[in-house]
Amino acid sequence: MQRFRPVIGICGGIGSGKSAVSAALRELGCEVCHSDEVARAVLERADVRAAVVARAGAHLARPDGSIDRAALGKAIFTDAALRADIEKLMHPRIEAERRAQFARAPLSTRAFIIDAPLLLEVGLDRECDAVIFVDAPHELRVQRVTGTRGWDAAELERRERAQIPLGEKRARSTDVVVNDCEPEELGRRVGAVLGAIIARGPARRAPSSEGPRTEPT
SS (H, E, C) 107-176: CCCCCEEEECCCCCCCCHHHHCCEEEEEECCHHHHHHHHHHHHCCCHHHHHHHHHCCCCHHHHHHCCCEE
Q: What pLDDT is attached to residue 7? A: 97
CA distances from 89 to 43, 68, 162, 164 (A): 10, 17, 20, 22
Q: What pLDDT is attached to residue 211? A: 41
Q: What pLDDT is attached to residue 3? A: 84
Distance (Å, whole) CA 98 – CA 103: 9
Cβ atoms of 44 and 168 closer than 8 Å:
no
Q: What pLDDT is attached to residue 206? A: 40
What CATH fold (topology level) applies to the domain 1-30+110-217? Rossmann fold (3.40.50)
Query: 62-84 pLDDT, tens per residue?
Result: 999 999 998 998 898 889 899 99
Where do the domains of the chain lie? 1-30+110-217, 36-108
- The residues of the chain scoring below 50 in pLDDT are 205-217
Q: What pLDDT is attached to residue 122? A: 85
Q: What pLDDT is attached to residue 2? A: 65
215 φ/ψ sector (left φ>0, alpha ψ -120 to 50, else beta): beta
Q: What pLDDT is attached to residue 203? A: 81
SS (H, E, C) 45-91: CHHHHHHHHHHHCHHHECCCCCECHHHHHHHHHHCHHHHHHHHHHHH
